[in-house]
Amino acid sequence: PLLLLLQSFCFCSTSTTSSSHYHNFLQTTTIMKTVILATLIAGAAAFAPAQSGVRTTSLNAVPEADAQYTDDIGVVAPLGVWDPSGILARGPEEVARLRELEIKHGRIAMLGVVGYLTTYAGVRLPGLEDVPCGWAAVTSGDLPFEVAGQFFATTIMMEMFNRDNAGTGQFPGDYRNGYIDFGWDKQSDAWKKNKRTIELNQGRAAQMGLLGLMFHDALGNVADILP
């Protein structure tokens, strides 16, 4: 939608013929294009690979107090440490809490995108063949009450178990609780950082993707972006 909006601005700027408002119109559209471009750059950072180090440039120059985060996961080119809201100034504990929330939301969004695409492709559980996908599953009234109840019960259970209950987490989002490992502890620190960065970036991309799917589904044109 951002690209379509940017394209519409370009079209409008070439088709406006009123000379009295043309100068103000150009100023407005220039500001809007700048905002959209900055948003696209921030979104593109979610797809960037892990970086072994971040060089200080005019884009990622940070105060000395924030220098401890320059080598943290999620700090990738081209933005580096980009903190326009001043979150890093709240302290390491708050940053760790928000990072954990970001990871959890990213994991949920990744599951949501996969579920959205799966149901859109026509895959259904037995007994739910007549339930539509997307927003229609909620608004149509075809979703059985029992299924909705199971969904909320599952959500509560996942929230209870997906946390550091044993107090053994080594980083935000580490919910192994001394039970599931899959050879994680045998890997190098560089390998672990790379995998954590991949998960974080894919979660960021999934949050944008799921929001886009929900937005276009509500508009009724999700078929235009999905095969």
Q: Which residues contact 175 (CB under 8 A, 6 or more apart)?
A: 161, 162, 163, 164, 169
Q: How do the pLDDT tens digits run along the chain, 227 residues long?
A: 433 333 333 333 333 334 444 445 445 445 555 545 554 554 554 444 444 444 444 344 456 656 788 888 888 888 888 888 888 889 889 999 999 999 999 999 999 999 999 999 999 989 899 999 999 998 988 999 999 999 999 999 999 988 898 888 999 999 998 888 888 989 999 999 999 999 999 999 999 999 999 999 999 998 888 87
pLDDT score at 53: 44
pLDDT score at 5: 37
Residue 90 token pair: 């709240």
Q: Which amino acid is at 20?
A: S
pLDDT score at 21: 45
pLDDT score at 2: 39
Do residues 227 and 125 make contact, with C-beta atoms less than 8 angstroms apart? no
Give the rounded percent of residues in the chain with a pLDDT score beyond 90: 42
pLDDT score at 75: 87
pLDDT score at 16: 38
Complete DSSP assignment for 102-145: HHHHHHHHHHHHHHHHHHHTT---TT-TTPPSTTHHHHSS-S-H
Distance, in Å, from the CA atom of 133 to the CA atom of 112, rounded to the nearest integer, reads 12
Do residues 50 and 194 make contact, with C-beta atoms less than 8 angstroms apart? yes
Q: Which of 2, 84, 73, 8 shows the shortest CA–CA distance to 39?
A: 2
Q: Look at the pTM and tell me if it is higher than 0.85.
A: no
Q: Which residues contact 73 (CB under 8 A, 6 or more apart)?
A: 50, 193, 196, 197, 200
